[in-house]
Amino acid sequence: MPDYQHHWKDGTPVHLPLGKIVCIGRNYAEHARELNNPVPDEPLLFIKPATSAVHITRPLDFPRNQGAVHFETELAVLIGRPLTNASASDAEAAILGYGLALDLTLRDVQSRLKEKGQPWERAKAFDGACPLSPFVCIDRLRRDHLTFTLDINRERQQTGDTRDMLNPIVPLIAHMSTQFTLMPGDVVLTGTPKGVGPLESGQILSLELEDALFVETTVL
């Protein structure tokens, strides 16, 4: 939405504009299988516009008249340098920070679009479709792999481990840059693990990234 602004975990603004959110579908094989989708043989990319971004700590609101809305918890990467046809080393150097995101999806709408062979934007790009957490500086998360979780009403719903990605973070960003120039402030969503499902009013969602970030939100 227009008032969204990137922030660091301590509340300090990140002085970069959000231009676009570049996403990958089916980057975890078990998630592809849970929705009876084939595992793609190349990255399945799509874009959410800046107007889809909202602060994750605000109560989640979304269209109520278009069928089920599913949550998909994802590791988010904040880009800090321009990237075009980037090498792996350039892509890695461009990572400014990590956060968490919900790729909210109008699942019934998406299913109809897929049946017709049409793009997914109507299901993925609506206002509020990308709640984003604050970001943690890369210097605090230089690790071989990262894990993240989603609990709903205090029960574990999703667990993600970057070792399970079909397209790991750095090669994924490099590949994305061959298709779209990535700019400082852009966000890359890296796919969701298995365990997705519908949102319901009153749910409490708790998201955690390693021991570095914890955020909580509710569903209106």
pLDDT tens by residue, 12-58: 999 999 999 999 999 998 897 888 888 889 999 999 999 999 999 99
Locate 19 and state its tokens.
């231009």
The answer to whether position 157 is within a domain reads: yes
Question: pLDDT category, 81, cuts 50, 70, 90?
Answer: very high
pLDDT tens by residue, 135-175: 999 999 988 899 999 999 999 999 999 999 999 999 999 99
Residue 1 in this model has a pLDDT that exceeds 70: no
The answer to whether position 1 is within a domain reads: no
The answer to whether position 11 is within a domain reads: no
**What is the average pLDDT across 52-73?**
97
The answer to whether position 5 is within a domain reads: no
Find out whether 99 and 76 touch, Cβ atoms under 8 Å: yes
Task: Work out how many domains the chain is built from and give that number.
Answer: 1
Residue 110 in this model has a pLDDT that exceeds 50: yes
Torsion of CA 185, 47, 65, 111, to 10 degrees: -150
The answer to whether position 97 is within a domain reads: yes
pLDDT tens by residue, 178-218: 999 999 999 999 999 999 999 999 999 999 999 999 999 99
Strands (E), 26-94: 44-49, 53-55, 69-71, 73-79
The answer to whether position 188 is within a domain reads: yes
The answer to whether position 147 is within a domain reads: yes
The answer to whether position 89 is within a domain reads: yes
**What is the average pLDDT across 87-106?**
98
CATH number at residue 143: 3.90.850.10
Range of the domain at 27: 20-197
